[in-house]
Structure 1
Amino acid sequence: MNVAIVTVGDELLAGRTTNTNATWLSEQLTERGVSVERVTTVPDRISDIARVVNEYRAEYDAVIVTGGLGPTHDDVTMEGVAAALGCSLETHDGALAWLEEDGYSRADLTAGTADLPVGARPLHNETGVAPGAVIESVYVLPGVPAEMRTMFDSVADEFSGTQTYREVVVADEPESALLDRITAVRERFEVSVGSYPGDSVRLSLEGTDEETVLTAAAWLRDHVERTE
């Protein structure tokens, strides 16, 4: 299964808010064997949300959209998703019922709080107000981290893939000097290798067979310079 993540918010693009949602979602999905192929941030603009969601839902098994839910003027994510799928918004009675159970009177709710794309499956916001939604392969979650995490947990079982295993080897050599060993370990074992330079070079080995990954990492440790 492959997934694209779309985070919505002018404050993210301006650097005023750290995009922890994308990192957390990527970690959760990777642990479930799901391949995260794209992480994209778009402004609070209906046309941008619609364009990106429409493009990604055609390319990936699922799209997760976070942020911009609610009834205020800049909460336009539901409108953008509805536009991407060619449908309108309507007040969802089930979502309103949940809110009433949580102590919110319909009369006191701001207009638009429970508006979802027509045909969407509502997702209850257990720690906030604005509901989420699932429509076709698009999952719409809140931007508030606590709300997003709780809501994702309610649909996490709908995301699965091939389990991958990972080992890290730290080499005390320049990255350019390691190219021959990186090539060799790829040729000897069914693993992918990522190289991340810094004070030392972290070599990340990944594969679908745990024993192969462990053996490849052991071989690589024997063939690079390391500080014990």
Structure 2
Amino acid sequence: MEVALVTVGDELLAGDTENTNASWLGRQLTAAGASVARVLTVPDDEAVVADTVARYHDAFDAVIVTGGIGGTPDDITKAAVARAFDRDLVVPDDVRAHLEAKAERFAEDNPELVDRYDMDLDLDAWASVPEGGQPLLTDESFAAGCVVDSVYVMPGIPEELRAMYETVADEFDGDRTTETLHTPAPEGALVSRVTEARERFGVAVGSYPRKDDAPGRVKVTGEDAAAVTEAAAWLRERIETVDGE
């Protein structure tokens, strides 16, 4: 299963916000056996997001889009996804009712915030989804996410993203397995062994340099679990490893 990740936000491109969502999703998907084939960050531009989603939808098994699903003027992601599929944005009655009740509970629990900031939520914007999309709702997120024909639209706030991803996590799986070896050896000393392991066992082998006090890593990945295990064992016999590797 090949998955593309699209993170939306001017603040990500400017470096104002660290893009932890892409890293977290990459780890979750890899652990599930899926393959992350693309990671792209795009601005809060409806045309750019729509074009990216349309292209990636045609090219990959699934697309996860994060960020820009709230009710502020720069939250254009759901409108962009609707545009990518040539659909209208609609407001499902049950979703709006759910968010209205949630807003009422928030106002009751936080009257000082409501009075101080004169909060005026656009519930239609928060509840909207592309026509035919499956709404995604969680306790952590106020805005509704959605699934539209293998395109998953989720919040940009990390805690909200993680909660919403868990509601659909079972839909991402694959046959790829990975074993990681830790080594104090510099990358230059691993070239011949990495190359030979790739050719001998037909697996992907990547080497990653030491960082601070942490050892380097050699990562073996493939869809044949037996081949991955054999390649990792072969490498353990030929390169210096640490931490019991």
Once the 2 structures are TM-superposed, how far is the Cα of residue 108 of structure 1 from its aligned partner? 5.8
Residues of 2 paired with 1:104 and 1:111: CA distance?
15
Distance of aligned partners of 1:98 and 1:131 in 2 relative to their CA distance in 1, 3 Å threshold? same
Aligned to 2:148: 135
Select which of 131, 139, 146 maps to 1:126. Answer: 139
Select which of 144, 154, 157 maps to 2:170. Answer: 157
Residues of 1 paired with 2:121 and 2:208: CA distance?
53
Distance of aligned partners of 1:119 and 1:210 in 2 relative to their CA distance in 1, 3 Å threshold? closer
Residues of 2 paired with 1:57 and 1:4: CA distance?
9
Distance of aligned partners of 1:137 and 1:212 in 2 relative to their CA distance in 1, 3 Å threshold? closer
Contact 2:178 2:219 in 1 (8 A): no
Q: Secondary structure at the match of 2:125?
A: coil
- Identity among equivalent positions (%) equals 48
1:115 matched to 2:131? The reply is no
| Letter paired with 1:143 | G
Once the 2 structures are TM-superposed, how far is the Cα of residue 32 of structure 1 from its aligned partner? 0.9
Q: Give unmatched runs, 5+ long, in structure 1.
A: none
Contact 2:183 2:217 in 1 (8 A): yes
Q: Give unmatched runs, 5+ long, in structure 2.
A: 106-119
Residues of 2 paired with 1:185 and 1:14: CA distance?
40
1:9 matched to 2:42? The reply is no
Contact 2:179 2:232 in 1 (8 A): no
Aligned to 2:205: 193
- Give the TM-score normalised by structure 1: 0.89
Residues of 2 paired with 1:36 and 1:19: CA distance?
16
Residues 175-195 of structure 1, C-alpha deviation per residue, up to 9 Å, x if partnerless? 344332222222332432102
| Letter paired with 1:140 | V
- Give the TM-score normalised by structure 2: 0.83
Distance of aligned partners of 1:224 and 1:171 in 2 relative to their CA distance in 1, 3 Å threshold? farther
Contact 2:91 2:127 in 1 (8 A): yes
Residues 59-96 of structure 1, C-alpha deviation per residue, up to 9 Å, x if partnerless? 00111100001111100001111111111112221211
Distance of aligned partners of 1:214 and 1:75 in 2 relative to their CA distance in 1, 3 Å threshold? same
Mapping for residues 34-183 of structure 1, pairs under 5 Å: 34-104=34-104, 109-172=122-185, 174-183=186-195
Contact 2:197 2:235 in 1 (8 A): yes
Residues 114-160 of structure 1, C-alpha deviation per residue, up to 9 Å, x if partnerless? 12111111111321211001111111001111111111101111111
Distance of aligned partners of 1:225 and 1:29 in 2 relative to their CA distance in 1, 3 Å threshold? closer
Residues of 2 paired with 1:169 and 1:147: CA distance?
33
Q: Secondary structure at the match of 1:112?
A: helix
How many residues end up aligned between the 2 structures? 226
What's the RMSD between the two structures over aligned residues? Answer: 2.3
